Amino acid sequence: MLSDIHCPTIQIGKRSIIVFPYWISLLIVGILFGLVGAFTVLRDGLQVTGLSNAIPWGLWISVDLSAIAMGGSAFVFGVVVYILRIKRFDVIGKLAVLLGFLGYSTAGMVLLFDLGQPLRFWHPIVFWQPHSLLWEVTMCVVLYLSVLIAEVLPIVLEHPIFHMHPWLTRFPILGGLMKFAHKVAHWFHTAGPILAVAGLTLSLLHQASLGATYSVLAGRGIWFNQSAPVQFVFSAMSGGISLLFLASVFVFRVMRPGQVSDGALRDVARIAGGVTLLLTYLRVWDWAVTNYYSFNRVIALQTEVLDTISPYTLTFWLGQAILPIIAGSILLSAQKVNFRYLMAAAVIPIIAAVLTRWNYNFAGLVASITYDPFTPGVILNSYTPTWVEFSVATLVLCYWLLMFSLAARYLPFQSMKEHH
């Protein structure tokens, strides 16, 4: 099964060179660089970062929120495969679970460094704060990551090495442990519909709560709106499914041609296009309600200040409105469009999802509102990430790419047993 995988190659003169080993080596170098920054921040604390009391959330949280958004296809296709029982998406659903696991494990790694007290990561699980949105987000992420581990375990154990390796017969203890692992994996596979419902519930809860965290902070002004929870959910669906389409084309059309039909891949693109257009519709209406149908002097001041230091308004209209409309229309017409154009269009919703989280995270912090009730004003704060922050961000991104690359190369994604 795995011998049919075609690794990408590049042609240099008359030689055809397989890219995979060099790509893995590059990612390992990135991880080593990231470990230097990780050691520095664990040794010296957050004082080596550019974070401050004025801007406590910076590059790391933006990477964290973006990683969670990129795993948004997992709960969608869990419902599609296990609840709606659309079996032509079965293999794609396994890839969606993998992307979900990578996204949430990446977010967990980022939070480990951003906490400032990494050894206290277990405190929210033991010391409950039920009135805190961030506590609810933390519990949902922990529980959903557990669900994703239960869903990804059967996929990993389908690899032939866990069935036919000589060590399994040479060492009885190892063979017994592997039999037990297969039984657990089979039970998880049987409980797929239950896990899908749990994943959907937990994902909707914490994705919405992430948006609600910003919507209840009136001091942020510019992002104080009640549609933020809905926008965060649809943004994760739009960006996550678009990433799933790109990954599916690479894995199932380039590396494993014929394992998934082109029709199924085009249907994934159509789903991404429909969600992207719906999200853009909501986002434009939200802008109109905030800036056109009502006028808030503080929000106008915040926008003006942000435009003086960055292309803030341009990134909204170009990156979150106009281009997503074009990309969503192309993806929705996937049956008539070449795969190259579909892949180019799928990049735009991913960028829009990342932009949404960067704007939510930075806009209200960089241009913050003073709390004087008589003369409210806007204070411009500064933030520049240090090399340590970029180093840790490189570490987690290289981890994501390394795990995905190894999975694309070595995981079968199709069950070896007929009853599965």
- Position 14 in a domain: no
**Could you write out the DSSP letters of every residue in 44-69?**
H-GGGSS--SS----HHHHHHHHHHH
- Position 4 in a domain: no
Structural domain total, the chain? 2
pTM: 0.91
- Position 307 in a domain: yes
Structure tokens at 159: 């690899």
Q: What is the model's pLDDT at position 240? A: 94
Q: Which amino acid is at 272?
A: A
Can you tell me the distance from the alpha carbon of 209 to that of 220, in angstroms, rounded to the nearest whole number? 16
For residues 240 and 303, membership in a common domain is answered with yes
- Position 271 in a domain: yes
For residues 285 and 377, membership in a common domain is answered with yes
93, 77 Cβ separation under 8 angstroms: yes
For residues 140 and 245, membership in a common domain is answered with no
- Position 13 in a domain: no
Can you tell me the distance from the alpha carbon of 213 to that of 218, in angstroms, rounded to the nearest whole number? 10
> Going residue by residue through the chain (420 aa), what tens digit of pLDDT does each one get?
455 777 777 777 778 888 889 999 999 999 999 999 999 999 998 999 998 888 888 899 889 989 999 998 998 998 898 888 888 899 999 999 999 999 999 998 998 888 878 888 888 889 998 888 788 888 888 999 999 999 898 888 888 888 888 888 888 888 888 888 888 888 888 888 898 898 889 888 888 888 877 766 655 666 667 788 888 899 999 999 999 999 999 999 888 888 888 999 999 999 999 999 999 999 898 888 877 777 677 778 888 888 888 888 888 899 999 999 999 999 999 988 899 999 999 999 999 999 988 888 777 788 877 766 666 678 888 888 999 999 999 999 999 999 999 999 888 887 655 444
349, 324 Cβ separation under 8 angstroms: yes
For residues 135 and 236, membership in a common domain is answered with no
For residues 206 and 291, membership in a common domain is answered with no
Structure tokens at 415: 């069950």
- Position 265 in a domain: yes
For residues 246 and 317, membership in a common domain is answered with yes
18, 7 Cβ separation under 8 angstroms: yes
- Position 9 in a domain: no
Q: What is the model's pLDDT at position 418? A: 44
Q: What is the model's pLDDT at position 236? A: 93
How wide is the angle at C-alpha 280 spanned by C-alphas 275 and 283, nearest 5°?
125
**Could you write out the DSSP letters of every residue in 384-401?**
---HHHHHHHHHHHHHHH
**Could you write out the DSSP letters of every residue in 112-157?**
HHHTS-GGGTTHHHHS--TT-HHHHHHHHHHHHHHHHHHHHHHHHH
For residues 399 and 369, membership in a common domain is answered with no
Count of residues making up the chain: 420
For residues 397 and 350, membership in a common domain is answered with no
Q: What is the model's pLDDT at position 216? A: 65
67, 31 Cβ separation under 8 angstroms: no
Q: What is the model's pLDDT at position 324? A: 95
Where do we find the tokens 């060179």? 17
Q: What is the model's pLDDT at position 329? A: 96
Query: Parallel, antiparallel, or unpaired: how do β-strands 378-380 and 367-369 relate?
Result: antiparallel
Q: What is the model's pLDDT at position 209? A: 84
For residues 95 and 146, membership in a common domain is answered with yes
Task: Give CA torsion, residues 60, 65, 66, 69, to 10 deg.
Answer: 160
For residues 292 and 365, membership in a common domain is answered with yes
Can you tell me the distance from the alpha carbon of 55 to that of 382, in angstroms, rounded to the nearest whole number? 8
For residues 209 and 310, membership in a common domain is answered with no
349, 326 Cβ separation under 8 angstroms: no
Can you tell me the distance from the alpha carbon of 236 to that of 233, in angstroms, rounded to the nearest whole number? 5
Helix (H, G, I), strand (E, B) or coil at 380: strand
Structure tokens at 289: 């309600």
Q: Determine the structural domain holding residue 394 and report its residue range.
A: 20-216+385-413
Can you tell me the distance from the alpha carbon of 280 to that of 48, in angstroms, rounded to the nearest whole number? 38
- Position 5 in a domain: no
For residues 198 and 247, membership in a common domain is answered with no
Residue 108: exposure state from Cβ atoms within 10 A (0-12, 13-18, ≥19):
middle
Structure tokens at 111: 């939070």
